[in-house]
C-alpha cells in the first residue's frame, strides 16, 4: 500500500468550492465543521474520473481538518456486487486516502429510509402509484408541456400506508407499484414532477440479503444518507444540478437535524478514452480487454497495474483543478504527471527488448568486467547496481542499421558506438542465416575506452546492452492507448470501432541481472525505452513480467 496522504499541497490555487467553504467556516455555519463523503455505486471498478472526486472530497476534508466518509451508494442490487465493493475500497486506499472508521452503505439506512417514506405519506407528500413505466412517462409531460396527474395522486393516506406496507411485505410483483413524492406535475423542472422514490424489485442485495423487495431511488436516498451522516458539503458532478431542488425538497419535508449543501462541479473527461462504467463493463464483458484490471483500462486498478503511481494521479487531479464547466483534458497531461513522478522516483536499468547478439571478437572469453552503474542519475542515494560485461552481449535490433538513415547515431556497419557505462565498439562484420536474416554482429572492442573518451575521434551514440549469458529472460508487455481516436465516443460509429488493435504487443526481452529479484509492482526505467512496472498478478521470481507504463517521450504528440 502507498503512503497515506496527510497534507495537501499549499500551492494549489483555491477553487470555487473551497472559496465557498471558507465563507461557511468564517460565518460559523455547521459550527465550522467540514464533512464530505465519496459515494460510489458498487456497479463497476473506479476510473480516473472517480479519482478527481476522491481527491476533491478527501482533499477538502484534509485541508479543513474535517472528515470524509466512504459511502457505497448501493440502491441498485441487480447491478452491484461484493467484488466491486472490495475493489473500490482498495483503490481509494491505494490513492492514499483513509476513511478511518467511517465506511458506510446507503443500505445501512434502509430502515430509516422506509420510516422517512412513511412520514412523507402521513404528511400527504407521497403516494403509491400504479402507472406502468410507459404510462408514467406519458403522464410526465415534456420540457415544453406540463405533466398530468396520476389517477392515483389523490389516493387517501390510509390507502397509501396500506399499499406501501404491502409493497414492502412482498405481496406485489416487480413494477406493479411505485411510491412517488407528491410535488408538482407542472414544475418546469421535470425532476420535481412527482419523482419515484421507491420501486419493487425482488432482488437479493449484497449487504441486506433478502430482507427487502422494495428499494429506494438514488435521489431520495442520497440526500437522506448525507443528512444522517452529518455531511456539510455534498460535492457531486454537474449532471445533478437539476436534481438539487429535489435534494432540498426531500430534506425540507423531513426536518432532519442536518441539511447538507449540494455543490456541483465539472466531471473529468479525458481524450483517447471512454469513462462510463457502462462502457468499461462492456469492454470487459465482451473480452475486448483482459478484465477490469487490464493495464490499458482507465480504471484505477488498471492504471495501478500499468505502473501509474498514486502521486502522479493526485498531482494530475490537482493540476486539472475543479471548475463549473465541463471540458476535455488531454491525456498527455496525465502522462506528463506520470513521467514527472517516475523520472524522479524510478531507478534505472537496462533491458534489451528485441535482442540482437553481439560478439566482441577481441575481448577475452575468460574476462568479465564488473561494472558499477548508478541507479539514478540525479539521486545518488539510490546507490549502484552491478553489471557484468562479457565477450558476448545483446543489443537492441533497432540500434543497428546497415544502411543508416540520415542522423542515425547508433551502430552501423563499420561504425562505432559506446555501450552504456562500458566500452566503445565497432561493427566489423554482419552474420546472417541462410535466408539472409541478421543473426549476430561481430564487433571489435576498443579496450582503452572504459570510462574514457576515444582517442583522436568523437563517438556520439550510446546504446544499452546486456551480457549474453547472464541476462535474465523477461516478458515485456508493450501497452499503448486503448483507443486510437481522440474522441472514441464522439466519432462516427461505435466507440468499440476505435479500439487500437496494436495496444498490446508482447516481447521476449533480456534484462540486466540486477533485476532478477524484482518484486511485484516494482517500477523502473529501462534506459532509452521507457518506464516499466512488474505485473502485480503475473510477475513471479524466475518469470518476470514487465508492463510498459509509459514511454520516455510522448510519441502521440509527434504524430499529430
Determine contact, residues 310/485, Cβ cutoff 8 Å: no
Q: At how many degrees (to 10) do helices 48-63 and 82-94 cross? A: 60
Per-position DSSP letters for 92-146, written without gaps between them: HHHTT---TT-EEEGGGGHHHHHHHHHHHHHTT-EEEE---HHHHHHHH--SSS-
Least Å distance, CB 220 to ligand ATP, is: 15
The CA distance from 532 to 522, in Å, is 8
- Taking CB under 6 A as the rule, does residue 268 contact ligand ATP? yes
Q: Pick the piece of the chain touching ligand ATP (CB under 6 A) from 36-44, 119-127, 398-406, 445-453.
A: 36-44
Which of residues 29 and 267 has its CB atom nearest to ligand ATP in the complex? 267
Q: Is 558 among the catalytic positions?
A: no
Q: Taking the CB of residue 85, how many other CB atoms lie within 10 A of it?
A: 18
Chain centroid offset of residue 382 CA:
29
Q: Is 277 among the catalytic positions?
A: yes
Determine contact, residues 23/7, Cβ cutoff 8 Å: no
> Which listed residue (41, 340, 428, 521) is catalytic?
41
- Taking CB under 6 A as the rule, does residue 222 contact ligand ATP? no
Which of residues 45 and 139 has its CB atom nearest to Mg ion in the complex? 45
Q: At how many degrees (to 10) do helices 331-345 and 310-320 cross? A: 140
Q: Pick the piece of the chain touching ligand ATP (CB under 6 A) from 44-52, 91-99, 185-193, 323-331.
A: 44-52
Determine contact, residues 521/361, Cβ cutoff 8 Å: no
Size of the site for ligand ATP (CB under 6 A): 14
**Residue showing the smallest CB distance to Mg ion in the complex:** 41
Lay out the sheet containing 530-534: strands in order across: 348-349, 523-526, 530-534, 545-551, 472-479, 504-511, 351-352
Least Å distance, CB 277 to ligand ATP, is: 3
Binding to ligand ATP, residues 419-448 (CB under 6 A): none
* Placement of cell 452491484 in the chain: 80
- Taking CB under 6 A as the rule, does residue 281 contact ligand ATP? no
Q: Pick the piece of the chain touching ligand ATP (CB under 6 A) from 18-26, 45-53, 148-156, 541-549.
A: 45-53
Length of the chain: 560
Q: Is 155 among the catalytic positions?
A: no
DSSP state, residue 505: E
- Taking CB under 6 A as the rule, does residue 267 contact ligand ATP? yes
Least Å distance, CB 292 to ligand ATP, is: 13
Size of the site for Mg ion (CB under 5 A): 1
Q: Find the helix or strand (DSSP H, E) in which 214 lies.
A: strand 214-216
Residue 278 burial class via C-beta count within 10 angstroms: exposed 0-12, middle 13-18, buried 19 and up: exposed
Which of residues 227 and 236 has its CB atom nearest to ligand ATP in the complex? 236
The CA distance from 360 to 424, in Å, is 11
Which of residues 102 and 267 has its CB atom nearest to ligand ATP in the complex? 267
> Which listed residue (29, 267, 281, 357) is catalytic?
267
Which of residues 92 and 474 has its CB atom nearest to ligand ATP in the complex? 92
The CA distance from 505 to 517, in Å, is 24
- Taking CB under 6 A as the rule, does residue 52 contact ligand ATP? yes
> Which listed residue (52, 140, 155, 277) is catalytic?
277
Least Å distance, CB 49 to ligand ATP, is: 2
The grid cell for 160 is: 397509501
Chosen from ligand ATP, Mg ion, none, partner binding at 536 (C-beta under 5 to 8 Å by type): none
Binding mask 27-46 for Mg ion (x = CB under 5 A): --------------x-----
Least Å distance, CB 489 to Mg ion, is: 18
The grid cell for 25 is: 467556516
Which of residues 37 and 485 has its CB atom nearest to ligand ATP in the complex? 37
The CA distance from 194 to 187, in Å, is 9
DSSP state, residue 503: S
- Choose, by CB under 6 A, the member of 5, 30, 34, 40 that binds ligand ATP: 40
- Choose, by CB under 6 A, the member of 30, 36, 53, 534 that binds ligand ATP: 53
Binding to ligand ATP, residues 386-405 (CB under 6 A): none
Q: Find the helix or strand (DSSP H, E) in which 305 lies.
A: helix 300-306
Chain residues in the site for ligand ATP (CB under 6 A):
39-41, 49-50, 52-53, 236-237, 267-268, 275-277
Residues that bind Mg ion (CB under 5 A): 41
Q: Give catalytic residue positions.
A: 41, 267, 277
Amino acid at each position: 500500500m502507498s503512503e497515506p496522504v496527510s497534507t495537501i499541497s499549499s500551492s494549489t490555487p483555491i477553487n470555487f468550492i473551497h472559496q465557498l467553504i471558507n465563507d461557511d467556516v468564517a460565518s460559523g455555519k455547521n459550527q465550522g465543521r467540514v464533512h464530505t463523503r465519496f459515494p460510489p455505486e458498487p456497479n463497476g471498478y473506479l476510473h480516473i474520473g472517480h479519482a478527481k472526486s476522491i481527491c476533491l472530497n478527501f482533499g477538502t476534508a484534509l485541508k479543513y481538518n474535517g472528515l470524509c466518509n466512504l459511502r457505497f451508494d448501493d440502491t441498485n442490487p441487480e447491478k452491484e456486487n461484493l467484488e466491486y465493493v472490495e475493489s473500490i475500497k482498495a483503490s481509494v486506499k491505494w490513492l492514499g486516502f483513509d476513511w478511518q472508521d467511517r465506511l458506510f452503505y446507503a443500505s445501512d439506512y434502509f430502515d430509516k429510509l422506509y420510516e422517512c417514506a412513511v412520514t412523507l405519506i402521513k404528511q400527504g407528500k407521497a403516494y403509491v402509484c400504479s402507472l406502468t413505466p410507459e404510462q408514467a412517462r406519458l403522464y410526465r409531460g415534456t420540457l415544453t408541456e406540463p405533466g398530468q396527474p396520476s389517477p392515483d395522486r389523490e389516493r387517501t393516506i390510509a390507502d397509501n400506508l396500506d399499499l406501501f406496507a404491502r409493497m414492502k411485505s412482498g405481496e406485489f410483483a416487480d413494477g406493479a407499484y411505485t411510491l412517488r413524492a407528491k410535488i408538482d406535475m407542472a414544475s418546469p423542472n421535470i425532476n420535481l414532477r412527482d419523482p419515484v422514490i421507491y420501486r419493487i424489485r425482488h432482488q437479493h442485495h449484497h449487504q441486506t440479503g433478502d430482507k427487502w423487495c422494495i428499494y429506494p431511488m438514488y435521489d431520495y436516498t442520497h440526500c437522506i444518507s448525507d443528512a444522517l451522516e452529518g455531511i456539510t458539503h455534498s460535492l457531486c458532478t454537474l449532471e445533478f444540478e437539476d436534481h438539487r431542488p429535489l435534494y432540498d425538497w426531500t430534506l425540507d419535508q423531513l426536518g432532519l437535524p442536518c441539511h447538507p449543501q449540494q455543490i456541483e462541479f465539472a466531471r473529468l473527461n479525458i481524450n483517447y478514452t471512454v469513462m462510463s462504467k457502462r462502457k468499461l463493463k462492456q469492454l470487459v464483458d465482451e473480452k475486448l480487454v483482459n478484465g477490469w484490471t487490464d493495464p490499458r483500462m482507465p480504471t484505477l486498478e488498471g492504471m495501478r497495474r500499468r505502473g501509474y503511481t498514486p502521486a502522479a494521479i493526485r498531482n494530475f487531479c490537482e493540476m486539472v483543478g475543479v471548475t463549473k464547466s465541463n471540458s476535455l483534458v488531454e491525456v498527455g497531461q496525465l502522462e506528463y504527471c506520470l513521467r514527472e513522478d517516475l523520472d524522479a522516483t524510478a531507478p534505472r536499468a537496462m533491458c534489451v527488448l528485441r535482442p540482437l547478439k553481439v560478439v566482441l571478437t577481441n575481448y577475452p572469453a575468460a574476462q568479465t568486467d564488473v561494472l558499477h552503474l548508478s541507479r539514478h542519475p540525479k539521486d545518488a542515494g539510490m546507490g549502484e547496481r552491478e553489471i557484468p560485461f562479457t565477450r558476448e552481449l545483446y543489443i537492441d535490433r533497432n540500434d543497428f542499421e546497415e544502411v543508416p538513415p540520415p542522423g542515425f547515431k547508433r551502430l552501423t556497419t563499420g561504425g562505432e558506438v559506446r555501450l552504456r557505462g562500458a566500452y566503445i565498439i565497432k561493427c566489423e562484420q554482419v552474420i546472417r542465416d541462410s535466408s539472409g536474416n541478421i543473426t549476430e554482429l561481430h564487433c571489435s572492442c576498443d579496450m582503452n575506452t572504459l570510462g574514457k573518451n576515444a582517442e583522436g575521434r568523437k563517438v556520439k551514440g550510446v546504446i544499452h546492452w546486456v551480457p549474453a549469458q547472464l541476462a535474465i529472460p523477461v516478458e515485456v508487455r508493450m501497452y499503448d492507448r486503448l483507443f486510437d481516436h481522440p474522441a472514441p465516443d464522439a466519432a462516427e460509429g461505435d466507440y468499440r470501432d476505435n479500439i487500437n488493435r496494436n495496444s498490446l504487443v508482447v516481447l521476449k526481452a533480456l534484462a540486466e541481472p540486477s533485476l532478477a529479484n524484482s518484486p511485484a509492482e516494482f517500477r523502473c526505467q529501462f534506459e532509452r525505452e521507457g518506464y516499466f512496472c512488474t505485473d502485480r498478478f503475473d510477475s513471479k521470481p524466475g518469470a518476470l513480467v514487465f508492463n510498459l507504463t509509459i514511454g520516455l517521450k510522448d510519441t502521440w504528440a509527434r504524430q499529430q
